[in-house]
Amino acid sequence: MYRFVLTRQWVCLTLVALALIPAMIKLGFWQFHRHEHRVAQNELIDTNLRAQPAPVTEVTSPGHLVPRADYWRAVTATGTYDSAHEVVVRMRTSGDDKVGFHVVTPLVLADGRALLVNRGWVPGGDDPRTYPPVPAAPSGEVTVTGRLKADETSGGSGIKDRKGLPDRQVMLINSGQQAESLGRAVLGGYLELTAPAPPEGGPEPIPEPDHDSIGAHMAYAVQWWLFASAVPVGWIVLVRREKRDRAEAAAAAAGREPATAA
């Protein structure tokens, strides 16, 4: 009665259905894991932003790779800005998605080591190869507070570290690279400045990372699993429809045979 499922057409259809089910289940778990990752990241950001600021020298050191558990951790540092070795980071966007530069100024601590401080965003000039107008960093000893970030790399950010850039322009914020040009030890990672607030006309502060939304990954996961469950149901519906159509065709053919004989 169901021998038609052994035909080439139905065998191919069945094999496609069997391949779709595990693929859709896997896609569902992929979206589910992305949901879990986003939830965990939001919790980490919220915890680290709310934590009492810690001295940066207690959290990082020269050559230190900032672990994910310390991303966005609130830290403080006291020192003097070294404006002579300030650099700007190309192709960075502002809060309203305008393309410009991030201003990174080394802060020299009392022990001679330096900390890279991202002071914020500034617009580019008419020629992107020239150094943009950058408001001067505060002079004298200052105490700064900000979010600790890991060194940027091409592998982690997807940004290619191009050679031959204009003077004092870089593509990535990387303590190892800046240590070479500074000629002094630089603490691993860098600080996104949050306090003190820049004066009027100063660099635009880096916005706080989003840690409220979780996206639609969970909805996508459920959607993929529903698709996976619908495949066998659809296959059964098609089999029953094929059986019905074949039975009706056979009955119609049987009705025509006696008339032809007469």
pLDDT tens digits, one per residue of 120-153? 999 987 777 788 889 999 999 999 999 999 999 9
What average pLDDT does range 72-87 have in this prediction? 95
What is the pTM assigned to this prediction?
A: 0.75
pLDDT tens digits, one per residue of 12-42? 888 999 999 999 999 999 999 999 988 888 8
Same domain, 89 and 66: yes
Same domain, 180 and 97: yes
Please give the pLDDT value at position 176. 93
Please give the pLDDT value at position 257. 64
Same domain, 242 and 179: no
Same domain, 67 and 21: no
Closest to 171 measured CA to CA, from 162, 181, 182? 162
| CA atoms of 240 and 228, how far apart (whole Å) | 20
Place of tokens 């401080």: 117
Q: Is residue 203 assigned to a domain?
A: no
Whether pLDDT at 183 is above 80: yes
- The residue with greater pLDDT, 126 or 190, is 190
Provide the number of structural domains found in the chain. 2
What's the domain range around 178? 55-195
Same domain, 242 and 137: no
Same domain, 118 and 241: no
Give the torsion through C-alpha atoms of 150, 55, 204, 173, to 10 deg: -30
β-strands 141-149, 190-195 pairing:
antiparallel
Maximum separation of any 2 CA atoms in the chain, in Å? 115
- The residue with greater pLDDT, 216 or 113, is 113
Same domain, 75 and 191: yes
Q: Please report which confidence band the pLDDT of residue 158 belongs to, taking 50, 70 and 90 as the band edges.
A: confident
Q: Is residue 49 assigned to a domain?
A: no
Residue 224 neighbours by CB under 8 Å, 6+ apart = 24, 25, 27, 28, 31
Could you check whether the bond before residue 203 is cis, i.e. omega within 30 degrees of 0?
no
Q: Is residue 121 assigned to a domain?
A: yes
Q: Is residue 207 assigned to a domain?
A: no
Whether pLDDT at 262 is above 70: no
Whether pLDDT at 231 is above 60: yes
Q: What DSSP designation does 57 have?
A: G
Q: Is residue 140 assigned to a domain?
A: yes
